[in-house]
Amino acid sequence: MSRGRSARRARRGNTLFAIVGLAVVAIMLLGTFVTLLPPSGPGNDGLERQDASVQVTPGAEVARLETQVSRNPDDIDAMVVLAEVLANSGRSTEAVPWFERAIASRPDDAQLRLAFARTLMRMGSWYDAELQLLAAYDSASDDASVAYYLGELYETRTQPDLVSAVNWYGKAVELDPGSVVANQAQDRLTTLGPATGSPVASPSS
């Protein structure tokens, strides 16, 4: 795949996931706002009504998105938002099949695979997360965020591979120097470089 085509896909993916991110943040903020509201009446009755409101808010959004997808199975954007809402509300296991369905329709979407990989990493599913990240890198080898999370995976998995982690962090810095991702990668390199006893090198593309 050409670099220009990869970049266009990465930009489309970034736009979608910016929207997804805003939706998830809005849901979380709404839940926090409801939590901070005082009880609507004296005694435990008011507290029970307050707790019910906190519990129903994310669930209602999930139900709405599931209904939307069931009515339009080709609405991949809604499917991605549903997966992200589930993953970011502590329901990662439920998010997995939605990510898988979305990826089946968009196998070359690097940002979608990255989001799925991050969910798998939170679950400790390191092997599956690695497969998703490597597939994302194949689709968008110029995306520094993919390289960064490959570095994070190799650093934090059950059996770390610090040399590989350093190589991928170095690749992230090389791809987008001066960016937030590159700065984060450089911080990890500063910590890990001496520990590996190896010079920073980029993995072969």
Give the mean model confidence (pLDDT) for residues 162-185: 96
Are 93 and 83 within 8 A, CB to CB? no
- Please tell me the least confidently modeled range out of 42-46, 49-53, 88-92, 150-154: 49-53
- 11 token code pair: 């930009």
User: How far is it, in rounded angstroms, from Cα 131 to Cα 137?
Assistant: 10
Summarize pLDDT for 101-130 with one digit per residue, the tens: 999 999 999 999 999 999 999 999 999 999
Are 170 and 200 within 8 A, CB to CB? yes
User: How far is it, in rounded angstroms, from Cα 179 to Cα 5?
Assistant: 21
The most confident of 11-15, 31-35, 78-82, by mean pLDDT: 78-82
* Res. 205: pLDDT tops 90: no
Phi/psi at 10 (5° precision): -60, -40
User: How far is it, in rounded angstroms, from Cα 164 to Cα 41?
Assistant: 58
Please give the pLDDT value at position 194: 73
For residue 59, name the pLDDT band (cuts at 50, 70, 90).
confident
Summarize pLDDT for 133-170 with one digit per residue, the tens: 999 999 999 999 999 999 999 999 999 999 999 999 99
Average of per-residue pLDDT values in the chain: 79
